[in-house]
Amino acid sequence: MRPWLILGALVAASPTPAQWLNYPAAGIPRLPNGKPNLAAPAPRTNDGKPDLSGVWDVLHNRPCPPEGCADMWIPQEFLDIGWGLKGGLPYQPWAAETVKKRMAENRLSDPNWKCLPTGIVRMYTTPLYRKIIQTSGLVLILNEREAMYRQIFTDGRPLPEDPQPSWTGYSTGKWQGDTLVVQTSGFRDGIWLDANGSPLTESANITERLRRVNFGTLEIEITVNDPKAYTRPWTVKLTQLLKPDTDLLDYYCIENEKDGPHLSGN
Amino acid sequence: MTKTLASLMLAAAISSAQWLEFPKPGVPRLPDGKPDLTAPAPKSADGKPDLSGIWTTKPGYTGNIAKDLKPGEVSFTPWAAELYKHRQDTQGKDDPQAYCVLSGVPREHVVPYPFKILNATSGRTNILVILYEALHSYRQIYLDGRKLPKNPNPTWMGYSVGRWEGDTLVVDSSGFVENNWLDNGGHPGTESMKLTERFRRRDYGHIDLQFTIEDPKAYTKPWTVNLEFTATPDTDLIEYVCDENEKDLKHLVGK
């Protein structure tokens, strides 16, 4: 089963949107058969920096059940952001208790099913597309989910000292060689990093290191430093795959939310 | 008054001053340091006017987008006349916005919250993005010469392509949802709606917008609205999550 099955499921909900989704973008390296050459070198902007622009999907690293993949084919990190870490996430005792409680309640308090914002980490692991638009001074991430956007200021401004707490936080980025290093703080309490309910608190700051290793692959290393919830900073690495010749569709959770009635706790 | 709106929003956010007051380089200034809103409009690298910035719409059109039009200029089809009357009679009870669903286009042009126009026309990307603070949403306008799709997937924002006519950006859109509300009053829009917008940045601080609605299912003839956006430099959008603090529904009971 391949990632495009998810796209197929999304498309199935709306008759004949093919034209919308199949616009061949200019500037994509092609193989002799016309297909995008995803192994070609990463593109660069006019100033010589790698260009992270493109529509990106999660790496589908979770096996599908025998009956087939779900419409929303989640990656391992969607359930457990610390899936790849030996020994799991270094929770503070209260955080470990919180995760246990959230799981025992069958995720009743998950902001996700209430159609609230997912926050920046979970946005990367949600199996819906996101589009990066890199401009001079600003990197923009547009997400299909809830039409949420995120701004990463690359114009040299410092992080605010006491920002207004928000789901998305306040982000600034700067280039270190070919890697865009993004610092984010200003989170609100109550953010879930994964479906297990791993918490993020107002004390958190997050560092992301984004590197486009080739035309078709984006590596995102995320370091979460949240001493209130975790005994030490921890780092996970996510892989995103380019979806060329397509674009974002609308996905409004709020318009068709079906989870709530089924989430009754225990 | 545009300033009043901005200060109301500020009042809602305690000590957020630092967030909102990043003085942007490149803004023309008066001797007292304030932005000079009557300075010439900036240009992009390609010589076209640059529409980038944080903008606020001219207030007063939220309830009725056709406020300035003369009687008869908005000419409903019988079906739309009945729908509009129903929406008025039930006092907006079914307004999608009350359920935190997007405002869509052109309603976003009359919503009293700031929005950010981002000119992503350098390098490999050639689009204009509009980020809306209200309901935290975005819209893409393709400037790469593509045509409008013939049968697009219906969305609240529609599918938009733009081209320059002199100093005016002309944007054609279609592919809108059937159950569109163009304002709080409930002017209907349908899947048959075609929208033409003409954006002209007449100076640093102002964009004149003229848009024409052509929707044969709802209106017997096209109609045109003129609006004005004012720049609000040195600030940025803050997060607006309707779903987190929704207070409208219980008051919307119809009659």
d(CA B125, CA A44): 11
Give the bridge partners for A192, in sequence order.
A199
> How many CB atoms within 10 Å of residue B244?
16
CB contact under 8 A, A254 and B124: no
Give per-residue pLDDT as tens, A191-227: 999 999 999 999 999 999 999 999 999 999 999 999 9
The three-state secondary structure class of A42 is: coil
pLDDT at A258: 59
Give the bridge partners for B195, in sequence order.
B173, B213
Give per-residue pLDDT as tens, B18-42: 445 667 778 999 999 889 999 999 9
Which of residues 191 through 230 in chain A touch B, CB cutoff 8 A?
A: none
User: Is a pLDDT exceeding 90 seen at residue A106?
Assistant: no
d(CA B197, CA B172): 7
Token digits of residue A160 = 């605010």
Q: CA B11 from chain center: how many Å?
A: 23
Range of the domain at A109: 4-14+50-249
pLDDT at A20: 47
pLDDT at A53: 94
In a domain, A263, yes or no: no
Q: Which residues of B touch A46 (CB under 8 A)?
A: 122-123
Token digits of residue A120 = 């920046």
User: Is a pLDDT exceeding 70 seen at residue B205?
Assistant: yes
d(CA A74, CA B165): 45
User: Is a pLDDT exceeding 50 seen at residue B197?
Assistant: yes
d(CA A197, CA A100): 8
Chain A nearest-CA distance from B115, in A, is 12
Task: Please give the single-letter amino acid code of residue A191.
Answer: I
CATH number for B2-13+49-251 (one of 3.40.50.300, 3.30.70.100, 2.40.50.140, 2.40.128.20): it is 2.40.128.20
d(CA A245, CA A227): 42
Q: How confident is the model at residue B242 (pLDDT cuts 50, 70, 90)?
A: confident
Which residue of chain B is at minimal alpha-carbon distance from A24?
B146
Of the partner residues A134, A136, A161, the one whose CB lies closest to the CB of residue B18: A161
Which residue of chain A is at minimal alpha-carbon distance from B148?
A20
Is residue A22 exposed (0-12), middle (13-18) or buried (19+ Cβ within 10 Å)? exposed
Cβ pair A243, A129 in contact under 8 A:
yes
Mean pLDDT, range B175-198, rounded to an integer: 96
Q: Which residues of A touch B150 (CB under 8 A)?
A: 19
Cβ pair A240, A217 in contact under 8 A:
yes
Question: Among A52, A104, A47, A96, which Cα is nearest to A215's?
Answer: A52
Helix (H) or strand (E) holding A240: strand A234-242
CB contact under 8 A, A142 and B236: no
CB contact under 8 A, B18 and A163: yes
pLDDT at B99: 80
* Domain boundaries of chain B, sorted by first residue: 2-13+49-251
Q: Does B10 touch chain A (CB under 8 A)?
A: no
Rg of chain B in Å (alpha carbons)? 19
Q: Which residues of B touch A168 (CB under 8 A)?
A: 239
User: Is a pLDDT exceeding 50 seen at residue B3?
Assistant: no
Q: Does B178 touch chain A (CB under 8 A)?
A: no
pLDDT at B60: 96
Q: Does B157 touch chain A (CB under 8 A)?
A: yes
Cβ pair A221, A203 in contact under 8 A:
no
User: Is a pLDDT exceeding 80 seen at residue A17?
Assistant: no
In a domain, A60, yes or no: yes
Mean pLDDT, range A92-119, rounded to an integer: 91
Give per-residue pLDDT as tens, A34-63: 899 999 999 999 889 999 999 999 999 999
Percent of chain A with pLDDT over 90: 65
Q: DSSP per residue over B144-171, as a string? A: SSPPPPSSPPPBSS-EEEEEEETTEEEE
Q: Which residues of B touch A16 (CB under 8 A)?
A: 151
Chain B nearest-CA distance from A203, in A, is 17
Q: How confident is the model at residue B212 (pLDDT cuts 50, 70, 90)?
A: very high
Which long-range contacts does A160-165 make (Cβ < 8 Å, 24+ apart)? A160/A186, A160/B18, A160/B19, A161/B18, A162/B15, A162/B18, A163/B16, A163/B18, A163/B19, A164/B13, A164/B16, A164/B19, A164/B238, A164/B239, A165/A189, A165/A202
Mean pLDDT, range A15-32, rounded to an integer: 66
CB contact under 8 A, A46 and B238: no
Question: What is the reported pTM?
Answer: 0.87
d(CA A27, CA B239): 34
Q: Which residues of A touch B100 (CB under 8 A)?
A: 115, 254
Question: Among A144, A184, A143, which Cα is nearest to A166's?
Answer: A184
Which residues touch A170 (CB under 8 Å, ≥6 apart)? A159, A160, A163, A184, A185, A186, B19
CB contact under 8 A, A116 and B244: yes
Give per-residue pLDDT as tens, B72-131: 999 999 999 999 999 999 988 888 888 888 889 999 999 999 999 999 876 677 899 999
Which residue of chain B is at minimal alpha-carbon distance from A145?
B137
The total of structural domains in chain A comes to 1
pLDDT at B142: 94
Q: Which residues of B touch A26 (CB under 8 A)?
A: 124, 144
d(CA B196, CA A86): 56
Cβ-Cβ pairs closer than 8 A, A with B, add up to 114
In a domain, A241, yes or no: yes
> How many CB atoms within 10 Å of residue A35?
11
Q: Does A48 touch chain B (CB under 8 A)?
A: no
Range list of H helices, chain B: 2-12, 17-20, 78-89
Token digits of residue A23 = 């616009």
d(CA A172, CA A139): 9
Of the partner residues A16, A140, A157, the one whose CB lies closest to the CB of residue B22: A157
Give per-residue pLDDT as tens, B135-181: 889 999 999 999 999 888 889 999 999 999 999 999 999 999 999 99
- Calculate the dihedral angle through the C-alpha atoms of A60, A61, A66, A69, rounding to the nearest 10 degrees: -20
In a domain, A257, yes or no: no
